[in-house]
Amino acid sequence: MAEEAIKLGGKRKSIFMDKVKELLPEGGNLNLCLTCGACSSGCPATGLEGMDPRKFLRMAALGMDDEIMSTPWTWMCTMCQRCIYVCPMKIDIPQLVFNARATWPREKRPKGILGSCDMALRNESRSAMGTSPEDFDFVVGDVLEEYQESQPEFAEMEAPIDKQGAEFFLNQNSREPVTEPDEMVPLWKILHLAGVNWTYGSKGWGGENYCMFLADNDAWETLTRTTINQADALGCETYLNTE
């Protein structure tokens, strides 16, 4: 038996109502949504805090602003966009989640995400771990030399930084150069064996963008522009996003 359709325009006034309508594809109609559950079935955050994408969307459509703006589930969505791809109407629920996050005072947003975003803003690497370009250069060089010496078959392997004219600009998880430097090597080997012309950038190599998850548009843009500007300065044609 089909579930009851979401009805817009209830008695409760909602600041999210127009936002919900904006998420619909051209010509779409949220009244056609029968909460089929496709969005929730593959969501990694379904069930946390008793919430799922279907319920979150329904609450927004019914004007439950207080609940939308206070539920911790808002910060558990991974923004993976899986819900969009399985939705017959292609409703952009992660954008709705992003809008809800933006209503929280910045200082009250999760400390882990907030701290990582602010740390990335304080260094040109855009590393959430605070690794400077100089420290990154040292770690990459040291690890590369170790593997070139210990594994002769990779004696010619490279891990360039700021190589002009490289085709691919590669980013890197910020944690690995600090706590797991050996984890960088497998990808270097793949790129070497494939004969790929690639480079890191001394600026903007940090692969995460916690500012996006924080719903801080200005900070998100700052991190992204640093990376893209560096890639452009080096003449790279393709950005390889490992994150």
Averaged in consecutive runs of 10 residues, what is the pLDDT profile of the chain (243 residues)? 47 62 58 77 93 89 85 93 88 88 93 97 96 97 97 97 98 95 97 98 95 95 96 97 85
pLDDT digits (tens, 9 = 90+) for 67-85: 888 899 999 999 999 998 9
Q: Which pTM was predicted? A: 0.83
At 91 the pLDDT is 82
CB-based contact 242:205 (threshold 8 Å): no
pLDDT given at position 13: 54
**Token pair for 48:** 């946390």
170 backbone dihedrals φ, ψ, rounded to 5°: -105, 135
Q: At what angle do helices 53-61 and 93-102 cross, to 10 degrees?
A: 70
- In this prediction, residue 14 carries a pLDDT of 63
β pairing state of 198-199 and 238-240 = unpaired
Q: Are 165 and 234 in contact (CB under 8 A)?
A: yes
